[in-house]
Structure 1
Amino acid sequence: MSGRKTEEPGTAKPKRRRTPVWLRKPGRWISQNGAFAAIVAWIAVRYLKFVFRTNSWVVEPDDILDQVEPELPVIVSVWHGQHVLLPAIPIGLSGAVMISRSLDGEITARVAEAFGASTIRASGGRNPRHTLSKGALRGFLEMLRMLKNGQNVLQTADIPKGTPRRVGQGIISLAQKSGRPIVPLAVASSRRWVLPKSWDRTTINLPFGKSAIVAGERVRVSATAGPDELEAARIRLKDEMDRITRRAYELTGVPEPEVTGMPGEGK
């Protein structure tokens, strides 16, 4: 049976709306303009600070920093779409983060740096042919170097614009090569806006709510791990990320609706 999606009889695949001609030129100008990125980042920093200060916070476990401190440096793992508020939270695990070279990445990098994080401008993406052009190999080696020098690294577990909430091999390889544990982390707010068409369900946290940050059990990967062990570690991290994400939303009092249409792990 082929893996292609079939349409219901009598239905037509909706056409993708193209950007109007009159918007294309200003759109290109905005996407290439550093001043625009600086303005948006300035606004974003102040908004995130406002959201953090106007939310009440629950941390679980409350002694997570004491637990993790003997194991520093660590690899902090978060889901795409759930990390927007993370730079503004003084969790004591600041470090380096790999961010794409896109306009969104430029804005995100400026925001992260404003909160004290160091940035690595690179992106893996879904297509292995783009690894060198996107700087993924350089980014991986830079994260490895930072970990060996005692600096924490924050990395999204799922692959950019791939399958949401499906752990990629990159973070598992980083743990294997560095010998450092992965600390799964989830952040959730009771008042939030989920971008409806974002591939990763990007969540904008809103002021005057209840928020939670939950850390999961560390995931370690042996330096001598074979393919089966690496896959087992990937599944283990995915399961733990899913668990703490559910728990974080439960602690806010507003659980996350069940996410439909996301392919499974194929266990």
Structure 2
Amino acid sequence: MKLSKRLLRSVPVQNLIARMMSSYIALVRATTRWQEVMPDETRLFLDQEANIIGCFWHSRMVMMFHAWKHSDRSRFHMLISAHRDGRVIARAIENLGFRTVEGSSRRGGASALVTLKRTLDKGGAIGITPDGPKGPRMRAKNGAVKAAQMTGRPMIAISGNVSSRKIFDSWDRFCLPLPFGRGIIHWGTPIAVPRDASKEELESYRLELEEQLNELTRKADLCFGHVPITPATPLRANDLEAPPEKGAADARP
């Protein structure tokens, strides 16, 4: 076994990495001048209802912590993989005062949805990265739509960007915000999914979510003069069935 892998399996090393991650996220939140763009329809809805399904692309995950800047952090739940990397991310999130739910698209995905439904039933909200954990980039799987159908709570697309950033050459083109810049959070409009929706209707809701997220991301990128990051090749039918892997959030902003 390589030394690097052995080190990453060490709990003290994992805790150190998690502490560094959470400290960096806190630094970005504190030093960025944020702007929020929210439709009146969404603001009116959030004034009355707090338990939503917030959906955002995997690459914009770090910025989404700002979307819930005024929320009760103890009510924030992120669905995290049981893999080693997921455990490190979970510790980083918990260092920020939020909570996590362990689940996997391969193991326990259904049970994770049940846990998230209980969270919604208690008045919180959940968040999902519809293209996680491995893509394709900016293509929504069925997990968020199934969660909305199962829980009766609407999906709301959210995206963001910052003036200073680093884009990694990863499957999702991960966007790392740099501190001491400007940031923007774009909110979409609620998408309700009926419990008795047909297979064809579920697909139309999936496409609506995907289109909203991509349009919000495009607007956020153009806001600071960046070339918009484009989606990957559209999903195949078999790729759509993976349940949500990662996501965030358990309260309104």
Q: Please classify the TM superposition score into its range, dividing by the shorter chain length.
A: 0.7 to 0.9
* CA distance, structure 1, for counterparts of residue 14 and residue 186 of structure 2: 31
The structure-2 alpha-carbon separation of the partners of 1:90 and 1:228, relative to structure 1 and needing over 3 Å to count, comes to: closer
* CA distance, structure 1, for counterparts of residue 157 and residue 228 of structure 2: 21
Computing the radius of gyration from Cα coordinates, the structure with the larger value is: 1
How far the C-alpha of 1:117 sits from its partner, in A, is 2.0
How far the C-alpha of 1:255 sits from its partner, in A, is 2.5
How far the C-alpha of 1:115 sits from its partner, in A, is 2.4
Conserved? CA contact 2:222–2:228, under 8 Å: no
Match of 1:49? 26
Identity %: 26
Q: Please, what TM-score do these two structures have when normalized by structure 1?
A: 0.80
The structure-2 alpha-carbon separation of the partners of 1:136 and 1:265, relative to structure 1 and needing over 3 Å to count, comes to: closer
Which fold has the larger relative contact order, with Cα–Cα distance below 8 Å and residues 6 or more apart in sequence? 2
Q: Which residues in structure 2 correspond to 1:172-251 (within 5 Å)?
A: 172-196=145-169, 198-251=170-223
Aligned residues: 233
Match of 2:234? 264
Deviation digits for residues 100-125 of structure 1, max 9, x if unmatched? 1222211211122222322111121x
Match of 1:38? 15
For the aligned residues, what is the CA RMSD? Answer: 2.1
* CA distance, structure 1, for counterparts of residue 70 and residue 195 of structure 2: 27
* CA distance, structure 1, for counterparts of residue 123 and residue 34 of structure 2: 29
Q: Please, what TM-score do these two structures have when normalized by structure 2?
A: 0.84
Q: Which residues in structure 2 correspond to 1:1-267 (within 5 Å)?
A: 24-61=1-38, 67-87=45-65, 90-92=68-70, 95-124=76-105, 131=106, 134-196=107-169, 198-251=170-223, 253-259=224-230, 262-264=232-234
Conserved? CA contact 2:39–2:189, under 8 Å: no
* CA distance, structure 2, for counterparts of residue 52 and residue 79 of structure 1: 19
Counterpart residue type for residue 46 of structure 1? S
List runs of 5+ in structure 2 lacking aligned partners: 237-253
List runs of 5+ in structure 1 lacking aligned partners: 1-23, 125-130
Conserved? CA contact 2:31–2:180, under 8 Å: yes
Deviation digits for residues 186-213 of structure 1, max 9, x if unmatched? 12111111111x1111111101221101
